[in-house]
Amino acid sequence: MIRATISLAALLAATPALAQDRDDIIVTALGIEQPRDEVGQAVTVIDEQTIVTRQTVSVADLLATTPGVRFNRADAVGGVTGVSIRGAETTQTLVLVDGVKINDPSGIGDGYDFGNLLTGNVRRIEVLRGSNSVVYGSQAIGGVVNIMTGEPAQGFGGSASLDYGYADTLNAKADVSGSSGIASGGVGVAYFRTDGISAAVNGTEKDGYENVATNAKLKLAFSDNFSLDLRGYYIHADLDTDIFFGAPMESSDVSKLDQYIGYAGLNLSLFDGKLTNRAAVTWFRNDRDYYFMRGTAPDYGYSGTNLRFEYEGVYQPADPVKLVLGYEHERPDYAFFGFGSDASARVNIDSVYALAVVKPFAGLSLTGGVRHDDHSQFGGATTFGANANYTPNEGRTNVRASYGEGFKAPSLFQLYDSFNGNAALQPETSKSYDVGFDQSLDGGRATFSVTAFRRDIHDQIYFDGFILPFGQYINLTRTRAKGVEAAVTLRPVEALTVTAAYSYIDAKDRSEGGLNEGKLLPRRAKDVVSMSADYRWSFGLSTGATVTMVGDSFNDAANTQRLDGYALVGVRASLPITENLEVYGRIDNLFDEEYATVYGYSTYGRSAYGGVRVRF
């Protein structure tokens, strides 16, 4: 890993590279569309072409090649999967799907399980790194992952694909969209099933998985100034897994999930477009049932719901000034049944925020804001944030700096669980700093981006298993993460694209006098390098490869259980048969590397897949 790091450092030093095209639009920084050279925060965009080219099934696997991102998966495909940004807890990553906050109120820490989120009909992903609670409130301590499905096509269009491979895996998806008159919209469906592998590393029985996902969008533009947006997303997942008692053991356990996501919003533009208004209701529900044996009634389960009302107004009295004002009300609740216990809880959170974007002179953009959240359990939390972006040459060079505060309310599970809850918990808080620059050369043929960061978290919630009788959640841990992120994109000729990303993250427990003071936080490798290259041959064939190298880490907070580093290589190819028909295939883990992201759980060895894609 040290050699790989030095090699990449040499590449960065020797290669002129650039940031993304200055005309790129970023949504996640403020929740509204912004030119990239107006954004002072670190944001990575995974676009539709990258998603199609990589042929990756899981969103988490796609995110793993993003600077600053680490992930762990307990089980094979479909197993519980957490995504960490810049060394934060996986529960401190805020996740959006088509503008809807989908962190699970019934989860242990309100975290989102990426295990059931497949690429399916996903068309774009934005990853914002750094605390950003001014815009998003609770959870946005490590950063934000914003998942977007496709926008409706002009006229009428669609696509479909079907591939098959290792472990009797079938992956199919289709979508259609179009517009007519005042209406535009689309629907999509994705289906995935596999016989899988044993979840327990020493098991022999295969644990299968099935996932069905559907999404829909409808926009009615009643006039140039007034429109209605409706969006929906649904996931059903069914997973065979192995029971966990200290280490996973082979069993007949089954988990099932039904996830519902809904959005209804009105958009109104006034005063010749100087004032835009958005009022929306969003709804998220996550039902999880667990069975000791398939075919029986569920033995225990969780249900989490979050109903939100949002208002956002954007006022731009002049080109150099933009004001963003917002109000949100959300009502998360959760319910649990099983083991002779039934529990439920609900809280109310009211939030107001204000931000300003000011451009005092050409090339400089300054953003600052404040937010106050009032939580019915623990009271109020106020957060601040500011960032700046300066470009002296119309976006070819961007110098960025940002400061962000974050907070995370204790989850309803942590507050009110019958066995482990603690109603006296206080919110986690963070302060995040970063500085970086992006450089573009040769008309966009090379891009280069480097960012240095630091984040301190106070009152991190910790599970103390020594508190009788069952253990309890308490505020104890202080943590600090610091590091460097770098990314390169090269297009020396039109047919070739080469990308590389490296991140160094030093994330440690800083609890004074604590048992784990100075220890590395679990499952967060210090070094990760990824490199991808794709080439389109003159006769239409596209070939590519991705190499990902992950350093050593520890599975536990005491740093006694080591997870060895690993290197994965994947290769891929696609060939158009006609203008609308294409065949494609890939081999994952080409060299059959043995590795684990969670101790005791299996991962796939070498596996091959092939399929066909049509467009119309």
The model's pLDDT over 443-491, given as tens digits with 9 standing for 90+, comes to 889 999 999 999 999 999 988 888 888 899 998 889 999 999 999 999 9
Regarding pTM above 0.75, the answer is yes
pLDDT band of 20, cuts 50, 70, 90: very low
Tokens representing 180? 């007519």
User: What is the per-residue pLDDT for 9?
Assistant: 38
CATH of 2-148+191-519, one of 2.40.50.140, 2.40.170.20, 2.40.110.10, 2.160.10.10: 2.40.170.20
Question: Between vectors from CA 561 to CA 479 and to CA 597, what angle results, nearest 5°?
Answer: 80
pLDDT one-digit tens code per residue, 376-428: 988 889 999 999 999 999 889 999 999 999 999 999 989 988 888 899 999 99
Query: CA–CA separation, 506 vs 503, rounded Å?
Result: 10
Residue 496 has pLDDT above 50, yes or no: yes
What confidence tens digit (pLDDT) does each residue in 52-93 have?
Answer: 999 999 999 999 999 999 999 987 789 999 999 999 999 999
The three-state DSSP-derived secondary structure of 76-90 is: CCCCEEEEEECCCCH
Convert the pLDDT of each residue in 125-160 to its tens digit. Answer: 999 999 999 999 999 999 999 999 988 888 899 999
- Are the CB atoms for 157 and 616 separated by under 8 Å? yes
Cα first-last separation, the chain: 45
Torsion of CA 104, 107, 110, 116, to 10 degrees: -50
Listing DSSP states for 470-538 in one string gives T-EEEEEEEEEEEEEEEEEEE-SSTTEEEEEEEEEEEEEE--TT-TTTTPBPTT--SEEEEEEEEEE-T
With H, G, I as helix, E, B as strand and everything else as coil, classify residue 266.
strand
Q: What is the pLDDT of residue 245?
A: 64
Token pair belonging to 184: 């535009």
- Tell me: the pLDDT tens digits for 83-104? 999 999 999 999 999 999 999 9
Annotate 385-419 with three-state secondary structure: EEEEEECCCCCCEEEEEEEEEEEECCCHHHHHCCC
Give the SS3 label for residue 296.
coil
| R_g of the chain computed on alpha carbons | 24
Q: How does pLDDT run across 232-280, given as a tens digit for each residue?
A: 999 999 999 887 766 788 899 999 999 999 999 999 999 999 999 999 9
Give residue limits of the domains in the chain. 2-148+191-519
Residue 7 predicted with pLDDT over 70? no
Q: What is the pLDDT of residue 207?
A: 93
Q: How far apart are CA 600 and CA 75, in angstroms?
A: 9
- Give percent above pLDDT 90 in the chain: 83
